[in-house]
Amino acid sequence: MKTAEAANIVFDASVAEYHNTDNIDRTCPNPYPEGSLDHILFEKNWVDAVQWHLEDIIRDPQIDPVEALLLKRRIDRSNQVRTDMVEEIDSWFRDRFANVIPDPDATFNTESPAWALDRLSILALKIWHMREQTERTDADADHLAKCRAKLDVLLEQRADLTVAIDQLLDDIADGRKYMKVYRQMKMYNDPATNPVLYGKKD
């Protein structure tokens, strides 16, 4: 089985496991061997699932402002964790392809394999929640029909992205493409680059 195909199975398993309790504070019960790509992908999707639900909670119009601020801080930390994990996945791929000699005319993609897999992880969550909408008994027929149409698009999008990622990985393995990875360098989380944090004076 190819990498992105296998990733979909891991992501779906993580999403299903999260929804067994739907608890944003539950520790990730990762079933895969530590150090394996599957382990990293399961953990990554778990972080995505928790953040998905944090984003839902913070949009409650009745939320207490103090609680909302705490949630916003938690979402910020989660975003940094997600970025760090994507970079960890790219490091895994760089190690995997370390001995590949690219063709002289090899090209690189607009995004790295890990950022493409990040989109696949989010799609797993979108598909779960859109399917949930199609099964609601308290929604009208128009809502259900619109959600079924959206679900069809999401499933097609996942199928296309899966093929594209596996083609990219095959191209890298065969030297037709090469990895070029840029770190995100998010400035707002860094006390050395966010002027609010380092106390910049006007």
What pLDDT shows up at residue 201?
54
Distance CA 51, CA 24 (A): 8
Residue 42: what pLDDT?
98
Task: Report pLDDT for 191.
Answer: 79
8 A C-beta contact, residue 48 and residue 122: yes
Q: What integer pLDDT is reported at residue 181 of this predicted model? A: 76
Report the pLDDT value the prediction gives residue 2, as an integer from 0 to 100. Answer: 96
The per-residue pLDDT for 107 is 95
Mean pLDDT across the chain:
94
Cα–chain center distance at 66: 28
Q: Which residues of the chain have pLDDT under 70?
A: 184-186, 189, 196, 200-202
Buried/exposed code over 131-169 (b: 16+ C-beta within 10 A; e: otherwise): eeebeeeeeeeeeeeebeeebeebeeebeebbeebbebb
The pLDDT score that the predictor gives to residue 182 is 74
pLDDT of residue 150: 98
In this structure, what is the dihedral angle of CA atoms 195, 196, 198, 202, given to the nearest 10 degrees?
A: 60
pLDDT digits (tens, 9 = 90+) for 23-82: 999 999 999 999 999 999 999 999 999 999 999 999 999 999 999 999 999 999 999 999
Gap between the Cα atoms of 23 and 49, Å rounded: 10
